[in-house]
Amino acid sequence: MKKFIIIFCLTTGICLITIPNFKIINKQPVFAINKSIPKSIKKIKRNTWDKLIHAFIMVESRGNNIIQGEGNAVGCLQITPVYVKAVNRILREKGSKIQYTLDDRKSRKKSIEMFNIMQSKYNPHKNIAKAIKLHNPGSSQKYHDKIVRNMK
């Protein structure tokens, strides 16, 4: 008997993927071999996440790494000083010696790192809707739809 996992795909609705060695325990999927997600699912998730980050960059700054926005937001992801402080707090809690500066918001690489740190703390399962709300808490449905459209 084949078992399937249902993954919500933004472009097509619902995708069914056959997973070998897949068990359901307490209504939660568990992978029997090394309890790891198969590479095919990691690839889907990573590509979707990369598309989400690219969509944020295009919506927030049209790809401009040094743009100054509203409320002291700077860079391709329009990161605020409060966001940098929150990321630095998360890093301190993890025992990391890395700390970001306000100038790091002008670096695409460091902006994406900060975005991923914030998301890993408050959105570890990489839920797209939650990621949008977390990055821009006051966002409207129109903003959400714009991000999703830019993911394609």
- Residues 43 and 30 both lie in one domain: no
pTM of the model: 0.67
Size of the chain in residues: 152
- Residues 111 and 131 both lie in one domain: yes
- Residues 11 and 45 both lie in one domain: no
CB proximity list for 144: less than 8 A, separation 6 or greater: 129, 132
CB proximity list for 101: less than 8 A, separation 6 or greater: 84
pLDDT at 69: 87
pLDDT at 79: 94
Q: What are phi and psi of 79, to 5 degrees?
A: -85, 135
DSSP state of 109: H
Reported as a single tens digit per residue, the pLDDT across 31-60 is 333 344 445 444 444 588 999 999 999 999
Q: How many CB atoms lie within 10 A of CB 27?
A: 5
3-state helix, strand, coil split of the chain in percent (to 5) is 50, 15, 35
Q: Rounded to whole angstroms, how far apart are CA atoms 84 and 79?
A: 7
Reported as a single tens digit per residue, the pLDDT across 95-106 is 999 999 999 999
pLDDT at 9: 36
CATH number at residue 53: 1.10.530.10
- Residues 10 and 83 both lie in one domain: no
- Residues 65 and 13 both lie in one domain: no
Tokens representing 50?
């990369």
Q: How many domains does the chain have?
A: 2
Residue-level pLDDT, tens digit, the chain, 152 residues: 444 444 333 333 434 444 444 444 434 343 333 344 445 444 444 588 999 999 999 999 999 999 998 889 999 999 999 999 999 999 999 999 999 999 999 999 999 999 999 999 999 999 999 999 999 888 889 999 999 999 87
pLDDT at 27: 40
Q: In which domain, by residue range, is 14 found? A: 1-35
